[in-house]
Structure 1
Amino acid sequence: MYQFVVSFTVRPEHRDDFVRAARKTARDSLANEPGSRRFEVIADEANPDVFYLNEVYADVDAFNAHAAGPYFGAFFAEAGAYAEGPTWLMRGTVVTDHQPRRRA
């Protein structure tokens, strides 16, 4: 599974707009994109202007399909007007017993 966490800094007057847009993207993606597994919208506990998206996909190809799809584009068309980001905090593939580990 491919997953990542990104952050956005949102103008205070648009916090509710950001949450609404991100939650809509989450619902639409999970309902209509077969490779979408989890899409969480998280509010930072210390800074009310910072939000995180924690997303999980079947694999990197499923994420790329999401990124090329209509929900991703609609989210950035709206949120780009009042939010800075995404800032990538973590991204990678879950290590399983059947997956070879990468060498340094």
Structure 2
Amino acid sequence: MYQFLVSFTVQPEHRDDFIRAARKTGRDSLANEPGSHRFEVVADEQEADVLYLNEVYEDVDAFNAHAGGPYFTAFFAEVSAYAEGPTWLMRGNLIGDEAAA
């Protein structure tokens, strides 16, 4: 499994907009992209304006398909007006996973 964690710094007045857009992207991706396995929106416990996306895909090819798809494109078209990021915090393959070979 290919996984990553990214952060975004969101303008305070658009925090709810970002969460709504990210959750919609996650729902659409999980429902329509076969290699998508998990899409979580996580709030930083100390900085209210920092939000994380924790995502899991079958493999890097599934992520690349997601990144080239309509949900990813629509998400960034919206949030780029009020969010800085993504900042890549972690990305890689689960150790022991067949996809890591």
Q: TM-score, normalised by structure 1?
A: 0.93
Q: Give, in whole Å, the separation in 1 of the partners of 2:14 and 2:97.
A: 43
Deviation sequence 1:6-54 (CA, Å, 0-9, x none): 0000000000000000000000000000000000000101010000000
Runs (5+) with no aligned partner, structure 1: none
Q: Give, in whole Å, the separation in 2 of the partners of 1:30 and 1:42.
A: 17
Runs (5+) with no aligned partner, structure 2: none
Residue equivalent to 1:79? 79
Residues 1-104 of structure 1: pairs in structure 2 closer than 5 A: 1-96=1-96
Aligned residue for 1:85, secondary structure, equals strand
Q: CA deviation at 1:97?
A: 6.6
Higher share of residues assigned helix: 2
Q: Give, in whole Å, the separation in 1 of the partners of 2:54 and 2:87.
A: 12
Report runs of 4+ in structure 1 exceeding 4 Å deviation.
Answer: 97-100
Change (3 A) 1:36 1:10: same
